[in-house]
Amino acid sequence: MTKQVPVTISPKRLRREFVKKVKELSGQNLQLCYQCGMCTGNCPAAANMDISPRRIIEMARLGLEEEIADSKTVWICASCLACAVNCPRGFDLAKVMEAIRLLTLRKNIDHVRPEDIPPQERCDLPQIAMVSGLRKFTG
């Protein structure tokens, strides 16, 4: 469930490198979003997220880098694109989620280390699960 966190908004934060990078990596215009919440409504994983998909966009454009980094939302996203195909503004939120994941992964910080996947799981999981999982969770 979405948690309530007090945040500080400032012009300095709005102009942060973080906001620029998210825009560049995702290729998305964050200002397109009018916060209708169709993304959250269609997200099959929203119930498990601490920050809802809609709020991720709002927080990203406000430059709330630390708050987003503390959240597990982007790691729960399965890139199923239910948000993207249902967005009335043609905004691709999955690309924003990927951009935020990459800001961590590109610092050479893995979200899942291959060696931490239990050996039995490595045998059981189909190859496409391993390939896609390691693409999304390792840098």
Partner 1 sequence: MSTKQRKRKPAKTAVKEEKKIAAKLIPIYIMGKRYEIPEGLTIMKAMEYAGYILIRGCGCRGGTCGACGTVYRKPGDYKLQVALACQKTVEPDMYIAQIPFFPANRATYDFAGLTAAPEEVFKLYPELFRCVACNSCTKACPQGIEVMDAISALKQGNIAQAAQLSFDCIQCGLCTSRCFGELAQYHMFQLARRIYGAMIVPRAQHLTEMVKAVGEGRYDRFLEELKRTKEDELKKLYEEREVEPMAAGEDWKPKDRRYL
Partner 2 sequence: MSLAYYPGCTLKTRARNLEEPAVASMEALGFKLDEVPRWNCCGAVYSLADDDLIHQVAPVRNLIRVKKQGKNELVTLCAFCLNTLKRANLLMRQDVAKRDTLNAFIDEGIDYSGEVKVVHLLEVLRDEVGWAALSQKVKLPLRGLKIAPYYGCTLLRPREIAIDNVENPTILGEFLKALGASPVDFPESTRCCGSYQVVSSPGDIAEYTRPILNSALKNGAEAMVLTCPLCDYNLGRGQKELAKKQSGFREMPLLYFTQLLALALGLGPQVCHFELNHGSPESLLKEKHLLSQVESFQPIGGQK
Using CB under 8 A, list all residues that contact partner 2.
24-27, 44-45, 47-48, 75-76, 78-82, 84-85, 92, 94-95, 97-99, 102, 111-112, 117, 121, 125-137
Determine the angle formed by the axes of helices 93-105 and 53-61, rounding to 10 degrees: 70
- Contact partner, 30, from partner 2, partner 1, none, Cβ < 5-8 Å per class: none
CB of 48 to partner 2, least distance (A): 6
Angle of helix 17-26 relative to helix 93-105, nearest 10 degrees, comes to 120
Site for partner 1, residues 72 to 131, rule: CB under 8 A: 114-115, 117, 119-120, 122-123, 125, 127, 130-131
Alpha carbon distance 60, 83 (integer Å): 16
84 binds, among partner 1, partner 2, none (CB under 5 to 8 A by kind): partner 2
Sequence-ordered strand ranges (E) for 17-111? none
Cα–Cα distance measured from residue 138 to residue 111, given in angstroms and rounded to the nearest whole number: 6
Does residue 42 interact with partner 1 by CB under 8 A? no
The closest of 49, 54, 24 to 37, measured between CA atoms, is 54
Q: How far is the CB of 26 from partner 1 (least distance, A)?
A: 20
